[in-house]
Amino acid sequence: MLLYILRRLLNVVVMLLVVATITFGIFFLVPLLQHTDPVMRYIGKNANPVAIAGIKVKLGLDKPVYEQFWLYLKGLVVGRDYANGNDVIHCPAPCFGISTQTQTPVWPTLLHDVTVTGSLAAGAAVLWLVFGVGTGVVSALRKRTAIDRVAMVTALAGVSLPVYFTGLAASALFVYNLGWLQPTNPDVTFTSDPGAWFQGMLLPWITLAFLFAATYARLTRATMLDVLGEDYIRTARAKGLPERTVIGKHAMRSTLTPIMTVFGMDLGGLLGGAILTENVFNLHGLGFDALNGITKNDLPMIMGVTLFAAFFIVMANLIVDLLYAVVDPRVRLA
């Protein structure tokens, strides 16, 4: 087990290195393709050559590519100082670079915004797990009844409707039409006003959760139906176990295991859904940063979000794999 974990950790490091290399490559390739000098992003078009040269030195852009790459990697691990004489920007580890917009390190912004995305994601995840899995189980047990049909049609809608649509429709209905909720205010935080924060997050949570809950309901239903047909479920009944144990223990155990895998992957890949949801509800999270980075051509910001997201996905997968080895005794750790 220990060896397995070590090997997987090594794997993680390699994966992250690859992602870092690629993002760094993009940092070089994009300006090359755009025929622009990366320095120009940090400074006005009419800046004088001395200032440009100064910034070049400060950002290390005067050094050869391999050295820049090395400094970039090193910055990620131990942090770095961008210095030109006395003009110093300290970028603590993990240093994801300097934003072209704010001229400050990207990381603190990301760190701040990740809490927004995190709370969006966590709340949505709880919702979609509870409702998605719950609906799937009920549908499977009430196969081909009215409940099942309604649930599956709703789920189909959830899978096929984009977040813009459900999000905007939900806002239009509950905020502007019925007036039950206030529009989400991005400046309200959990600590500043928990009540307002909660009601502001409600629609974003539901919107994001709906997308996933639909997938989970369908997946749970299909898995559960398969499991219910297994011989060992019949064995459980043959032992005289009551139905609640047969379903709640034996069938659920087998149903939840594959769902856990999918959940791990979805958590990692959640960013896609989060970007759109944050955008729809005007939340200032990682998704906002990514979008902002793209529209403002802030390459270090995009690189930061990318690397950060990659880290998330890789870690989520690692955790799922480890958990899987714990839940499914048949998995060989080799």
Partner 1 sequence: MTDSQTSTTETTVGGTAPTSFLSVRDLRCHFPTDDGVVKSVDGISFELERGKTLGIVGESGSGKSVTSLSIMGLHRNVGKKNGPRMSGEIWLDGQELIGAGREEVRKLRGQKMAMIFQDPLTAMHPYYTVGQQIIEGYRQHNPQANKKAARDHAIQLLDRVGIPQPDKRVDQHPHEFSGGMRQRAMIAMALANNPSLLIADEPTTALDVTVQAQILDLIRDLQQEFGSSVIIITHDLGVVAELADDILVMYGGKCVEKGPADKIFSEPEHPYTWGLLGSMPRIDRELQERLVPVQGNPPSLINLPNGCAFHPRCPYADRTEGLSKTEVPRLTSVGQDHLAACHLPLEVRQQIFTEEIAPRL
In whole angstroms, give the CA distance from residue 137 to residue 211.
18
Among 90-98, 157-165, 200-208, 244-252, the segment contacting partner 1 (CB under 8 A): 244-252
Verify binding: residue 231, partner 1, rule CB under 8 A.
yes
Query: What is the full DSSP assignment across 224-292?
Result: HHHHHTSHHHHHHHHTT--HHHIIIIIIHHHHHHHHHHHHHHHHHHHHHHHHHHHHHHT--SHHHHHHH
With beta carbons less than 8 A apart as the criterion, state whether 96 and 307 touch: yes
With beta carbons less than 8 A apart as the criterion, state whether 146 and 152 touch: no
134-141 and 146-160 helices, crossing angle to 10° = 140
Verify binding: residue 333, partner 1, rule CB under 8 A.
no
Verify binding: residue 323, partner 1, rule CB under 8 A.
no
Site string for partner 1, 7-36 (x = CB under 8 A): ------------------------------
Verify binding: residue 141, partner 1, rule CB under 8 A.
yes
With beta carbons less than 8 A apart as the criterion, state whether 132 and 217 touch: yes
Residues 193, 170, 209, CA angle at the centre, nearest 5°?
75
Verify binding: residue 221, partner 1, rule CB under 8 A.
no
Verify binding: residue 67, partner 1, rule CB under 8 A.
no
CB of 133 to partner 1, least distance (A): 15
With beta carbons less than 8 A apart as the criterion, state whether 264 and 320 touch: yes
Site string for partner 1, 96-135 (x = CB under 8 A): ----------------------------------------
Verify binding: residue 244, partner 1, rule CB under 8 A.
yes
Verify binding: residue 328, partner 1, rule CB under 8 A.
yes
Verify binding: residue 322, partner 1, rule CB under 8 A.
no
In whole angstroms, give the CA distance from residue 298 to residue 319.
32
Verify binding: residue 284, partner 1, rule CB under 8 A.
no
The footprint of partner 1 (CB under 8 A) covers 141, 230-232, 234-245, 247, 250, 253-254, 257, 327-330
